[in-house]
Each structure stands twice: as C-alpha cells, then as structure tokens.
Structure 1
Amino acid sequence: MRFLHTADLHLGRQFNGLSLEADHAAILDQIAAAALAHEVDALVIAGDVFDRAAPPASAVRQFNAFLSRIRAETGAAVVMIAGNHDSGDRIEAMSVMTDTARALIRGTVAAEEPPLILGDAAGPVAFSALPFAWEYAAREAFGDETLTSPEDVLRAQIGAARAALPDGARWVVVAHGTVAGASVSEAERPLARIGGVETVGAELFDGAHYVALGHLHRPQSAGRPEIRYAGAPLAFGFDEAGEEKSMSLVEIDGAGEVRIAPIPFRPIRGVRVVEGRHEDLLRLPPSEDFLRAVLTDEAPVIDAMRRLRAVFPNACDLCYAREARAPELKALGPVARGLDDPMAVIGGFLDQVRGERADAEELAAIAATLDGLRGGEEGA
C-alpha cells in the first residue's frame, strides 16, 4: 500500500500581506503530479486545508479544482480531516455526493469512527480520519463531560476508531494536534486554553502502523518514526527560512512495516533572511523571494525599504542588527539584577530600547528623581 501524506496547506493565507495564491497553485500541482507519478493508493491531507474558517472564494475554487484533478487523473482515494484553522462544517460538506469507496472526508467530531478500507495483495488497510475538535464539541459528541484537554479528546477518538477496525487490518490514523517532543514554529496557533497543556503522548497511537499528523509546520517524526508530521508545504514565517519542505511518500508492506520517503516541495518563492550593509544588499542578485533584511549600518538609511524593493520586490521586513538582539538576552539585565533595584531596572530599560547604557549625567538625574519620589512617599 502506497500513499502520500501532506497537511497544513493553509489555502487563502498571505505572507506579510502578500498573496500566496500563485505559490499554493504551484504546490497543489506538485502534489497532484506526485500522486500520479507514484501511482499512490491514497492522498492523505491531515488538516488545515484552509487558513481560516471562512476562506476567500478563490481559495475554495482552487482546492475544488485540485480535488477534481485528483479524482480525474489518478486512482487515489482521498482521506482528509479538518484542522484547527478550518471550519469543520465546511470540510464535512465536501464529503456530500463523494464516492465513499474513494473518499473519507471528516470535518466534525463524532462518537463513531468508521474507517475507509483499502486493500492490496496482503489484505485490508484501514484509514481512520480523526478531525480536530475542541473539548466542548467532543463532550457533546461523546456524552462525556470529563473530556477537558486535547489529549482527552484524541483518546476518545482513537478509542472509537479502534473499535471499528476490521480484524487483521493494517491501520493508518490521520489526526491533527501536538504530540509531545515535536518541534513547533511561530505560525502555529495553540490548541489549548491559556495555561492548558496541548500536547498528547505518542502512546495514544499504540497499535497504529502509521500516524499521519497535521498542525506542526516542520516535517518531523514524533516519538516514533511512524508517527509523522508531513509539515506545511510553504514557509509561513521567517523562523522557517531556509527549511526544506516536503510531503511524505509512505509504503506499508504486508507485515505492517513502514518506509517513508520525503518528496521535497519546490516553491516558486522562498523565504530568506539576509544581513549586511544596505549598499551591499542592493548588489545581490535580484530575487522574488520573501525577504527580511537585517541592516548592519550604524546610521539609519533613508528610504531603505523602497530602495531594497527595487531589487527584492517581495521584501517585507526590515530591521537593524543593533536592534535585533534576542529578546531573552535583552531581558537578562534587569531580571538578573532584581526588580527591587529601581536604578537597575531603569538602566536596563534604557539599554534595551536605545542599545546603550545611561551615561553619568543621566544616572545622576535618575537618582535625584528617585530620591525625590522616596522623600515624597516618606512625607505622605
């Protein structure tokens, strides 16, 4: 059995206000081409098809055309779930009037989880598609008020899916969440309330031969090689600059052993961070990539972004190296010296916002002001 695993398309998303429609079109073409070239039995999309619950009409049309192409040009079944960015009802509606022998599309949580059964020479392979669900929806679906965390929800879904498995079937689980030990990036929304724990343990998936995950944007395994995030096909933040994106080609043999081969995506525009003097950056080869420029110039450069966009039309962020020190390093000064020392706190603040320490005259003025405030408090 051979299938493609991808996730987190985020159709309709922009990059710093710039449209990604053409970028997504290229990615969807590459997925369709891979499905055809590798003659896959199924295409798995593990959630976050769209970037928001009410995506632009152009994104919906783009995805519908893609699904039509998969149906017409390949023999692949489609297994797809809603992610936390999607409207579950919108994704669920895509299952209406589909061929149930070639599609399992799940948008909303339910107490029963019948799988899609595909077969090869070794027997049946069961695909369980578990859509992302918030706790309140899962409590209603399962009639269980004790479901209070993402792990509780997924445990209930896994239990329902396991109960519906045919005897002897190899098992593929499709889910959307954060498995403990995986690496996150800036673009992902949290899946738990403030203060809550959103991670789930890999042991929840015991018995599955492959777990096709969505939500985290970096391709990676979590806990075990067969528990895998395909990652997003495009970089959505500068913290992902230079990372290679891929979809996963998965093969399961008759004994349930899994082989995973990443198929790299080739985006039409990359995400890059360049650093140097403004005049030197202007001499770099022109590029359509999304760009963050970190200037090492000591003095502010007049019209820096406008001039940079003459070479890099998709430059969308500019900062100066002197201002770009890691926030955690900036915070060390006042925290380490203690919040009970006002002089240290004010000095650390000036250091952070200006990039230089207060001089002797400024320190004397600060001390005089603090002495005046203390005197006022004592006299009150």
Structure 2
Amino acid sequence: MRILHTADLHLGRMFEGISLEADQAAILDQIRAAVREHKTDVLVIAGDIFDRAVPPASAVRMFNSFLSRIVQETDAAIVMIAGNHDSADRIESMAILPDRARVLVRGAVRADEEPLILLDEAGPVAFSALPFAYEHAAQECFGDTNITTPHDVLAAQAVAARETVPEGARWVVLAHAFVAGGEVGDTERPLTRVGGIETVPSEVFSGAHYVALGHLHRPQQVGAPHIRYSGAPLAYGFDEAGGQKSMTLVDLDGAGKVSIETLPFRPIRDVRILRGKFTELLQNPPSEDFIKVVLTDEALVIDGMKRLREVFPNACKLTYERRDRATETKALAARPSAVADPVEVVNNFLSEVRGEGVSPPEVEILADALRRIAKEEARQ
C-alpha cells in the first residue's frame, strides 16, 4: 500500500506579516499532483491543517477545494487529524465528506477509536487517527484523572486504538506530538503549559508498522525509521532558511516493512539569509524571496531597509554582523560594558520596530535634543 504523508500545512499563516496564501495554494497543488503521479492509495495529513482555531475564510475555502479535488480526481483514501493549532470541532466537521469507506477524520479525542480499514493484495491495513488533545479533554474522555502529561494522553489514545486493530492487520498510526529525540525549530508552539514535559517516548507506538507524525517542522525520523515527521511544507522562520521541505512517500509491503522516499516541495518563494556589504548586496538580482539581511558594514546604512526593498520587496529583517558580535561579547563579558551611543540606541530600536534606522532629518532632531539635554545638565 502506498501512503503520502504530510502535515503542518498551517493554512492562513503569514510570514513576518506577509500573506502566504499563494504559496500555500501552490503547495496544495503539489500534494494533489503527487497523489495522482505516484498513484497514492492513502493521503494522510497529521495535524495543524490551519494555523489557528478560527482561520481566515479564504484558507477554509482553499482547503475544502483541495479535499474536493482529491476525492473527485483520485481514488486515494484520506486520513487526517487535528493538531494543536486546529479547532477540534472544525476538523471533526469535515468527517461529513462523502464515501465513509475511504475517509477518516478525527478532530476530537475519543475512547472508542475505530480505525479505517483498507485492503490491498496482502490483506487489511488499519489506519488509526489520534488527534492532538490537551490533558483535561483526555481526562474527561477516558474518565481518568491520572492523565496529566502529553505522554499520558497519547498512551491512552494508543491503547484504545490498538484494541480495535483486527488481528493480523498491518497498523498505521497518525499522531500530532513532540516525540523524544526530535529536532525542534523556532516556530513550533509548545504542547504543554510552561514548565511541563511535552515530549513522549517513541515506545508509545509499539506495534505500529508506520507512524505518521505532525508538529515538528523539519522532516526527520525519531526512534526508528518507521516513526517519521514529514515536516511542514513551507519554512515559517529564518531558522529554516536553506532547508529542503518535503512530503513523505511510504510503501508498506505485505509483511509490514516500509520503504520511504521524500518528495521535495518547490515553493514559489524561498526563505534566505543574505550576508555582506550593503552596496554588494544591492547588486544581487531582484527576488521575491523572503530575505533576512546581515550587513558586514561597520557604519550604519541610512534608509537601509527601504533601499533593500527596491531589490528585495519581501525583505523582512536587517541586522548588522558587528552588532550581533557585540551582543554575544557583552553577554559573555564579566565587566560592565561602555555606555552606548544614544543615536545608535535609537537607530537599533527603529530598525527593530519599523525595519528602518534613523533618517538624516531624524539624526538632526536627535542631535538637537541631545544638545539641549547637555545644556540643561551643565546648568545643574
């Protein structure tokens, strides 16, 4: 049986205030094309379909259209779950999709976790969809007040699901969790309250032949080759710049062994970090990519962000390498640092807040204000 595994679509999300609607529409088109091209039997989406519980109407329409085309244009079954960014009720409502024999949607946790059973030439394959749930919801669902951690939640779900798997069937599990050993990035939202332990051991999936995970945004295996994150299809932070995003194509044989191939996504805009002298960077070809610029210039560049955006309209951040070095040095130094130049302090503040440093007229205003302050202090 051939499975296409993806997760963490985060539809409706923005990148540094810039809409990603076109980028995400292109990703959904690539998933749909992969389902057709690779003759996929099952499409699995392991949570965080939307970026927030109440997503923009345009994101909902986009996803509904995507599902409809998968159903109409392919024979693939669909299995999907809610993640921690999703509204469980909203995802659960999608269970009204036609043809229950090929669709399994789980938004809310349940104690009677019935799988979707699909058949291939080797026999049955059971798909268990374990949606993300917080501890209080799992306590109510399972009637167990001892459920106090994400591990407890997922362990209770796994036990309930395991009991409904037919004897001799191969077992595929979907879950949205932080499995111990996974590499986390800067854009994943914590799955527990401050101070809680959010990781779960991979052993909780004992008996499963493939585990399709969501939550961590980098494609990776954890614990064993058959326990895998597909990763998010787009980079949502500059910590992911240069990383290859992919969906996971899984072939499950009659004995339950899996072979895995990653299919790269082709984003319409990349996330990049450019480093160098200001005048040199301006010579780069124009680009719509999301750009973070790290300048190696010693002197501050006036209107740097404004001028950069003439070449890179989606430039999002501007920093100075020497300032970053100074910050690191100050953090490590045992002795007090020198008093900062007031103009540079204001320049740094404005660069962070509005993306541009002080302009020449603003420098004059600052200088005049500093002169007045100096005169007042001299009188005292």
Give yes or no for the alignment of 1:61 onto 2:35. no
| Residue in structure 1 matched with residue 237 of structure 2 by the alignment | 237
Instruction: Give the match for residue 94 of structure 2.
Output: 94
In the alignment, does 2:271 pair up with 1:271?
yes
The letter of the residue matching 2:62 is Q
Residue type of the alignment partner of 2:33: A
1:313-342 per-residue CA deviation (whole Å, 9 max, x = no partner) reads 1111111111223966642224xxxxxxxx
Q: Map Cα deviations across residues 60-103 of structure 1 (whole Å, 9 max, x no partner).
A: 00000000010011100110000000000000001025321010
C-alpha distance in 1, partners of 2:87/2:327?
35
Percentage identity across aligned positions?
A: 66
CA–CA separation in structure 1 for the residues paired with 2:330 and 2:159: 47
In structure 1, what is the equivalent of residue 214 of structure 2? 214
Q: Distance in 2 between matches of 1:348 and 1:224?
A: 52
The secondary structure found in structure 2 opposite 1:324 is helix
1:178 deviation in Å? 0.5
Contact 1:333–1:348 (CA under 8 A) maintained in structure 2: no
Tell me the residue number matched to 2:47. 47
Task: Point out where structure 1 has 5 or more consecutive residues left out of the alignment.
Answer: 335-343, 355-380
Provide the residue aligned with 1:193 in structure 2: 193
Q: How many Å apart are 1:171 and its aligned residue?
A: 0.3
Q: Which residue of 2 aligns with 1:247?
A: 247
Structure 2 residue aligned with 1:347, among 337, 343, 351? Answer: 337
Q: Residues 349 and 139 from structure 1, CA distance in 2 versus in 1: closer, same or farther, beyond 3 angstroms?
A: farther
Contact 1:44 1:80 in 2 (8 A): yes
Which deviates the most, 49-58 or 190-199?
Answer: 190-199
Instruction: After TM superposition, list the pairs within 5 Å mapping 1:1-380 onto structure 2.
Output: 1-325=1-325, 330-334=330-334, 344=335, 346-347=336-337
Give the conservation status (yes or no) of the 8 Å contact 2:117–2:125: yes
Moved more, 14-23 or 302-311: 302-311
The AA in structure 2 aligned to 1:216 is L
Using the alignment, how far apart are the partners of 1:305 and 1:123 within structure 2? 60
How far, CA to CA, are the matches of 2:141 and 2:167 in structure 1? 26
The 1-side partners of 2:294 and 2:15 are apart by 18
Q: Kindly tell me: are residues 269 and 139 of structure 1, through their superposed partners in 2, closer, same or farther at Cα, counting changes over 3 Å?
A: same
8 Å contact from structure 1 (residues 219, 246) kept in 2 = yes
The amino acid of 1:347's aligned partner reads S
1:14-60: CA deviations, max 9, x gaps? 00000000000110000000000111111000000000000000000
Q: After superposition, give the CA deviation of every residue in 1:115-136 in whole Å (9 maximum; x if it has no partner).
A: 0001100000000000000000
What secondary structure, in the 3-state scheme, does the structure 2 residue paired with 1:331 have? Answer: helix
Q: Secondary structure of the equivalent of 1:36? A: helix
Root-mean-square deviation (CA, aligned residues, Å) is: 1.6
Relative to 1, partners in 2 of residues 1:56 and 1:122: Cα closer, same or farther, differing over 3 Å?
Answer: same
* 1-structure distance, mates of 2:97, 2:31: 23
TM-score calculated relative to the size of structure 1: 0.88
TM-score (ref. length: structure 2): 0.88
Equivalent AA in structure 2 for residue 238 of structure 1: F
What are the superposed Cα offsets for residues 336-356 of structure 1, whole Å, 9 maximum, x if unpaired? xxxxxxxx3x338969x98xx
Once residues 141 and 176 of structure 1 are traced to their aligned partners in structure 2, the CA distance between those partners, rounded to angstroms, is 18
User: What amino acid sits opposite 2:91 in the alignment?
Assistant: I
Does the 8 Å CA contact 2:330/2:337 hold for their aligned counterparts? no
What SS does structure 2 have at the residue aligned with 1:263? strand
Q: Does structure 2 retain, via aligned residues, the 8 Å contact 1:247–1:262?
A: yes
Which residues of structure 2 form unaligned runs of 5+?
346-380
Q: State the distance in 1 between where 2:91 and 2:186 align.
A: 25
**Matched letter for residue 16 of structure 1:** E
1:294–1:2 Cα change, 3 Å:
same
